[in-house]
Structure 1
């Protein structure tokens, strides 16, 4: 890793080079004939700007493709690890990581969707107690990415959990599902829940559900 002193020297060198380039450009510009200056202004600068724009666009596309390829490799690795894993706690950890790297979408996870549903449903039902409310909440929110409306009753029940975090995550899961049957309950939670975060999540969920 570059030390702080070396970084400072590198920054100073870059500044000196930049100043030198600017001075050189000004010196050259002043020595150009008026006709040449006019040509540069009218033709060369717009052309250079167009070329720079195209280069920036191409670099952005390449960067996006590389990022997508990297995410796919990471997803495939986690997918294989999840399918091999037999210890439930490690499976749960891998399932959360898998959902995150897949941008909380079910596309690409169809092969393990039933296993994910079973794992998250079981977690939401059995991870009881104060110390487990976080994984219970994560299971609730992640259930929403599976596009499986059979989990709606379970998420509706989770809106009455003792922990605000779980209630907020349940609202998030229902919003991801865009479940119209959750509208009445979410409207009640948005108005009546004592926790501001839960009310906000309920409002966001309602905004994602299509109007009747």
Structure 2
């Protein structure tokens, strides 16, 4: 039923478009040469400029709306993070909050210390085969907080058994622009057996300008 309705709508749109084209051509042929020249030289460029301005305005309005929506979501998540007591749920909200804030610290500074404690504890205690993704996310998100006291912890995470954690640790160091870890990252870029880890180490070095 839905496919049938969609087909009917598309067919109707095609008929309407053809009708507009045919009518436009019919009207154009009946215009005087002077009128046609005027339209080509003046009216059409003005119309195109107006359409471009309208498009820019529409895109700007949409961008503003998206930004406002994102800020509302961020504020809601901030409130949830501060109110949540369960550690696992708080960690989940913290990850989502940073992602919603486009991996930037600005706007979430008030909860950065609490996030640091949560991420560092997670990175050191979320052990076992099934928790490597949580460790990895904690490592990469630590870099967003711009607290250089976690650099030794992230360097240690470069030796994790799981490639995902090592790649996230490299990402976190890159976000921190921890220049003192360049030699260690260069070694990872050359020697790690996992392609993703080597790529992340290179990205981190590129961020540092090496």
How many angstroms does 1:16 deviate by?
A: 1.4
Superposition pairs for residues 23-172 of structure 1, below 5 Å?
Answer: 23-172=22-171
8 Å contact from structure 1 (residues 140, 155) kept in 2: yes
Structure 2: any 5+ residue segments left out of the alignment?
A: none
Distance in structure 1 (CA, Å) of the matches to 2:122 and 2:68: 31
DSSP 3-state at the match of 2:105:
coil
Tell me, in whole angstroms, the C-alpha distance in 1 between the residues paired with 2:23 and 2:64.
38
- Once residues 9 and 92 of structure 1 are traced to their aligned partners in structure 2, the CA distance between those partners, rounded to angstroms, is 49
Q: What is residue 210 of structure 1 aligned with on the other side? A: 209
Whole-angstrom distance in 2 between the partners of 1:193 and 1:129:
21
Note the alpha carbon deviations across 1:127-179, whole angstroms, 9 max, x for none. 01111000000000000111111111111110110000000000111111111
TM-score (norm 2): 0.97
Which residues of structure 1 form unaligned runs of 5+?
none
Partner of residue 186, structure 2: 187
How many residue pairs are counted as aligned between the two chains?
210
Q: If the length of structure 1 is used for normalisation, what is the TM-score? A: 0.96
- Is contact 1:180-1:210 (8 Å) kept? no
The range that moved more, 170-179 or 6-15, is 6-15
Please tell me the root mean square deviation across aligned C-alpha atoms, in Å: 1.1
